[in-house]
Structure 1
Amino acid sequence: MNRRPPQKSRERTRTGESAQDKRVTLPRALSKLGYCSRTQAERLIEAGRVGVDGRIVTDASAWVRLDVASITVDGAAVAAEKKICVMLNKPRGLVTTRNDPEGRPTVYDCLRDFDGPFLSPIGRLDKASEGLLLFTNDTHLAQALLDPISHVAKTYHVQVNPIMDDEMLARMTAGLVCDGELLKATSVRSLRTGDRNAWIEVELNEGRNRQIRRMLEALDVECLRLVRVAIGDLVLGELPKGAVRPLTEIEMKGLRRRAGIER
């Protein structure tokens, strides 16, 4: 007779997480604690520098319970860092990665003078794109903001050539099939028009790879510049190009509300 395997307990804690949710691989534990990236953690573990509950662990696939495990690096305890988030006004020409195999400049070049815990980008902007990029050590917030279910709007200002008429803008919200994938914007409107090109505002609720660029290509429109200016109610504002600033507590709470983490 076939027996159904016992179900893992999903009893919720006061924070809404179950004990099973807190069981992660050791590299992910170090990343969630804000100590380093998972790739860096794997190197530390393989070098025999990471301990769990008093013993050295060299297996990067080992699992730990974040709520009960005592983790050390070089004998020093690793404690959870305060959850923070910073915004960067990403310049054009930087890739959104920590280490680029091709040796290209990365967004982390802008964080060299930032004094704080290890931060990971929330999503990415491609090399040619500019504007608002968030970094955080709060993996729960990052996952919620990237989840299509949360419908956190991302707003972009896009310089295009030629000037797009109302019918072309409407096609972007109605949906365009690009490489067999249906892509659509939540809203599109004209911002200003010059003699040869124009600026439009595009809002997306979920971002696919190069979504705006691919939609414009389908309309035979050239994308001259693409700048992300807002995520939810968080606006890039007057932050200088290449500059970084921490989000305020009010801004953090607003992001968490929009992501469905807090009321």
Structure 2
Amino acid sequence: MSVKTQKTEKLQKVLARSGHGSRREIETLIEAGRISVDGKAATLGDRIEVKSSTKIRLDGRVLSIKEAEKEVCRVMAYYKPEGELCTRNDPEGRPTVFARLPRLTGARWIAVGRLDVNTSGLLLFTTDGELANRLMHPSREVEREYAVRVFGEVTDAIKRQLTMGIQLDDGPASFKTLTYKGGEGINQWYNVTLTEGRNREVRRLWEAVGIQVSRLIRVRYGDLDLPKGLPRGGWVELGLEQINYLRELVELDPEVVTKVAVPRDQRRLKANQIRRAVKRHSQVSERTGGTKRPSTRAGTKTGAKSSTKPVTKSRTRT
């Protein structure tokens, strides 16, 4: 069943958006008792839901208000490499996941959970804070799957411990599933799943049974797999069907539009990119002068060898 979340905004934000002054100016008017909402004096910090029936007055005069434009929910799959931090800024200047993401206007990317600095793999980002919070919350029990390479002998008794439950510092924990994937010697690969995202939980579970993790990759979140062919540090924006799968998973209303270009628009975009690239190449060639092919038209110097092969245009791969 879909659950609608009530959209409320700060009063000063609504009035500022509608052109009635800056937020600071409106806060001063509210503190002076000059603004009312539906007949009740407003107080600083009030939040309202903008409806057609909402009446906001300044000194008794009804103010026109604009409803907020609906923000399109966007979701991005990112292949986090090892060595990047899941933070916006690092005092030590280390690389962060947010540095690689495309810039947004009027919105920001929110990470759906975190991966520690030594873990790579699928990391989701969204512009919808409610979606991010619900996907991360343990009560939703959204599966996370990891490929993990371990160093040490994993006995049947250890496997039972890991799936039955182990007491960690922050409470009991276990793997929902644990599947052997092969390996060489005492370096073995397993796929494990959990339904929560506590700090370093996968590593701590293995360490609790005396097994060292040498590599950890998140390969799935919910039913969304790490996209095939996506390079480390690369990202891809999800389409409407995938976005609505995530929204349905956590009982949010579906989206009806998306920012992702449809195939026709993508082809047009690619063609424009190719034309710009050809134009830049031509401009560079004209400036340098040394990269032009010798002309075979009338006026070529006597004795110059002309090519017997037809000149063909180079094809730009798409």
Short-chain TM bin:
0.7 to 0.9
Report the structure number with the largest CA radius of gyration. 2
The counterpart of 2:160, out of the listed 160, 163, 170, is 170
Q: 2:219 aligns with which of 229, 239, 246?
A: 229
Match 1:55 to one of 21, 24, 28: 21
8 A Cα contact 1:86 1:246, kept in partner: yes
Report how far residue 261 of structure 1 moved.
Answer: 2.6
Equivalent residue, structure 1, for 2:130: 140
- In the alignment, is the contact (CA less than 8 A) between 2:3 and 2:252 conserved in 1? no
The answer to whether the Cα contact below 8 Å between 1:96 and 1:126 also exists between their aligned partners in 2 is: yes
RMSD: 3.0
Q: Deviations over 1:11-66 (max 9, x none)?
A: xxx9623xxx4335699x89xxxxxxxxxxxxxxxxxxx9355232247x945436
- Residues in 1 aligned to 2:82 and 2:7: alpha-carbon distance in whole angstroms: 38
Name whichever structure is richer in strand by fraction.
1
1:23 maps to amino acid: T
The reply on whether 1:246 has 2:237 as its aligned counterpart is yes
Contact 1:169 1:189 in 2 (8 A): no
Figure out how many residues of one structure are paired with residues of the other and give that number.
219
Name stretches of at least 5 consecutive residues in structure 1 with no aligned partner: 1-13, 31-49, 70-76
TM-score, with length taken from structure 1:
0.73
1:22 matched to 2:10? The reply is no
Offset at residue 84 of structure 1 (A): 0.7
Q: 1:87-106 maps to which residues of 2 (within 5 A)?
A: 87-106=77-96
In the TM superposition, what is the alpha-carbon distance from 1:80 to its structure 2 partner?
A: 4.0
**Displacement of 1:195:** 1.4
Residue 115 of structure 2: which of 125, 130, 133 is its match? Answer: 125
What corresponds to 2:249 in structure 1? 258
2:48 to 48, 53, 65: 65
Q: Distance in 2 between matches of 1:209 and 1:186?
A: 17
Over residues 197-254 of structure 1, what are the superposed CA-to-partner deviations in whole Å (9 max), with x where a residue is unaligned? 1111110011211111111111111111111100111000322111010011111121
What amino acid maps onto 1:244 in structure 2?
W
SS in 1 for 2:146: strand
Q: Is the 8 A contact 2:4 2:253 kept in 1?
A: no
Tell me if the contact between 1:163 and 1:193 (Cα under 8 Å) persists in the aligned partners: no
Identity of aligned residues (%): 31
Q: Deviations over 1:68-118 (max 9, x none)?
A: 69xxxxxxx97443111001000001010111222211001221x456642
Contact 2:148 2:189 (8 Å CA) reproduced: yes
Q: Is the 8 A contact 2:4 2:252 kept in 1?
A: no
Q: Distance in 1 between the 2:157 and 2:232 partners?
A: 34
Contact 1:89 1:130 in 2 (8 A): yes
The separation in 2 between residues aligned to 1:132 and 1:198, in whole angstroms, is 21
SS at match of 1:189: strand
Q: Take 1:90 and 1:250, find their aligned partners in 2: how far apart are those partners? A: 23
Distance 1:110 1:224 in 2: 26
Q: SS at the partner of 2:242?
A: helix
Code of the aligned partner of 2:180: S
Q: Which amino acid aligns with 2:234?
A: A
Q: Structure 2 regions of 5+ residues with no counterpart?
A: 28-43, 55-66, 255-318
